[in-house]
Amino acid sequence: MNELLTVPKSISATAKERIARDEAAYQAGIDRAREIVLEKKARFIFLAGPSCSGKTTTSQRLIDALEEKGLRVASFSTDDFFFNADRAPRNPDGSPNYDSPEHTDFDSIRHSLSLLENGGVAQIPVFDFLTSSRTDRTTHLDSANYDVFILEGIHALNDRILSALSHREQSVCLYLNATCAVRAEGCDEALSPQEVRFCRRLIRDFKHRGADAAWTYKLWQNVIPMEKIILEPFIKNADLILKTDFLCEIPMEKSEVLAVLSALPEKNVFYPKAQQLAKKLIPFPALPASLCPARSVLKEFID
């Protein structure tokens, strides 16, 4: 059962204190992950989690934490191994299924991991989400230049990827998630953990992928069902589960989410869903996004 967070009407009076407390709890998870990596003398970290759970920022925070110990760290993403959009499997309605394992080039990921494990050089593709295709560029990763490699993405804990290593004992697997429902004080109806992540994705898609609410809603229809297929079976591989829940998140995101939702035309098929979400958001007190710490997971979505 999901934990329930209640945002008090007076949150502005204690917002800085609560934000600091939640960030400290998240940092404690990062510190524990670093301890495991150092204990195992791991060369590979695999970081998976559902959409908008904070994988990109967590990967960077792990890099920072390990570099403090003198390790040289590089990261890359399963997302860069996506095939072009025209090769994506199709949903029943004909739309592309970007979350399907068949949209990811597992053979190339396995080959890259094998090269890095055995002292070689890997050329990592670069995927452009604005064009939904790979670019002509690659990222050059030479195993001689790094002590630890982080592979992050929705498929990172998939057995097909982990089995590419000859020595699994040299790896650490991390799973990231936001599992708390959130409600405003005095309200019976709460935002589900999935709706909290959807708010993150609305902002991210609008700011960084040039997408409106209709586009995000269309893709999100497939996200949650696919997570049960592509993520949940592989949580068993995790050495540690990190949570990215923040009490002040919705108050800091409220204004931007409502702005994106309000731009959805009334005739759009997702308009009723947008109105329902907006109705849930309105009772939350608003906090300025400037309160979000510079290195917070939420910066990935708010900025």
Indicate whether 1 pLDDT > 60.
no
Average pLDDT, stretch 57-64?
Answer: 96
Please report the pLDDT score of residue 92 as a whole number.
81
- Is 225 strand, coil or helix? helix
| Region 65-69 average pLDDT | 97
- Model pLDDT for residues 132-150, shown as the tens digit of each residue: 888 999 999 999 999 999 9
The bridge status of strand 171-177 relative to strand 148-152 is unpaired
- For residues 182 and 248, give the distance between their C-alpha atoms in angstroms, rounded to a whole number: 10
Token pair of 191 as six digits? 């935002």
Q: Which two tokens stand for residue 68?
A: 């403090």
> Which of 187, 134, 150, 135 lies closest to 64 in space, CA to CA?
150
- How open is the CA angle 293-235-172, to the nearest 5 degrees? 70
Residue 111 token pair? 């080959």
- The C-alpha atoms of residue 125 and residue 138 are separated, in whole angstroms, by 5
**CB under 8 Å to 228, separation ≥6 — which residues?**
none
Q: How confident is the model at residue 269 (pLDDT cuts 50, 70, 90)?
A: very high
pLDDT reported for residue 249: 97
Report whether pLDDT(96) > 80.
no
d(CA 132, CA 138): 16
Residue 19: closest CA among 204, 290, 303, 300? 290
> What does DSSP assign to residue 176?
E
Q: Which whole number is the average pLDDT over 162-166?
A: 96
pLDDT of residue 94: 77
Please count the other Cβ atoms lying within 10 Å of the Cβ belonging to residue 24: 9
Whether the per-residue pLDDT at 130 is higher than 60: the answer is yes
Rg of the chain in Å (alpha carbons) = 20
Is CATH 3.40.50.300 correct for 4-302? yes
Residue 131 has a pLDDT of: 83
Instruction: Point out which residues pair with 121 in neighbouring strands.
Output: 142
pLDDT for 85 equals 83
Q: How far is residue 129's CA from residue 204's CA, in Å, rounded to a whole number?
A: 12
Q: What tens digit of pLDDT does each residue of 186-244 get?
A: 999 999 999 999 999 999 999 888 889 999 999 898 888 999 999 999 999 999 999 99
Q: How far is CA 273 from its chain centroid?
A: 23
Reported as a pLDDT band with limits 50, 70 and 90, residue 46 is very high
- For residue range 271-283, what is the model confidence (pLDDT) as tens digits? 999 999 999 999 9
- Provide the residue type at 32 as one letter: R
The C-alpha atoms of residue 102 and residue 18 are separated, in whole angstroms, by 42
CA triple 297-216-227, angle to 5 deg = 70
The residue ranges of every structural domain in the chain are 4-302
Q: Rounded to the nearest 5°, which phi and psi values hold at 173?
A: -110, 130
Average pLDDT over residues 139-163: 97
Question: Which residues are bridge partners to 74 per DSSP?
Answer: 149
HEC string for 227-248: HHHHCHHHHHHCCEEEECCCCC
Mean of pLDDT over the chain: 94
